[in-house]
Amino acid sequence: AQSVSQHNHHVILSEAASLELGCNYSYGGTVNLFWYVQYPGQHLQLLLKYFSGDPLVKGIKGFEAEFIKSKFSFNLRKPSVQWSDTAEYFCAVTLRGTDKLIFGTGTRLQVFP
């Protein structure tokens, strides 16, 4: 069955540190990949998405993610985090041609000033 793994459950960083959150999926076919963010007390918002083309995808607020097909990975990165990036981050996958999202278990990011 299709699944998404996020190995970092809780990440604590100081402001200006670099961030990389891991995401791996298990499916051999063509997938669409997403990162969603949930700020404290708020609903999920789309951070970035990959459908095809350039495997390096840029999203909002300085986030980017790289799709590495050979590693079944879609890691999220930001060169310098801010306190306002404190949130929970979810990686998600859907099969091309369907609209059902499979979510990872999420990574809670805490950024201290």
Applying CB under 8 A, the residues found at the interface with other proteins are 4, 6, 9, 32, 42-46, 49, 51, 90, 94, 96-101, 103-106
Choose between 1 and 113: whose C-beta lies nearer to other proteins: 1
Count how many Cα atoms sit within 13 Å of the Cα of residue 84 in the half-sphere of its side chain. 3
DSSP state at residue 62: G
Residue 43 CB, shortest distance to other proteins, in Å, is: 4
Choose between 10 and 69: whose C-beta lies nearer to other proteins: 10
Choose between 59 and 85: whose C-beta lies nearer to other proteins: 59
SS3 of 7, please?
coil
Residue 69 CB, shortest distance to other proteins, in Å, is: 17
Choose between 68 and 101: whose C-beta lies nearer to other proteins: 101
Residue 87 CB, shortest distance to other proteins, in Å, is: 14
Which has the closest alpha carbon to 73: 25, 107, 7, 106?
Answer: 25
Residue 28 CB, shortest distance to other proteins, in Å, is: 18
CA dist 78 and 27 (Å) reads: 26
SS3 of 85, please?
helix
CA dist 99 and 38 (Å) reads: 20
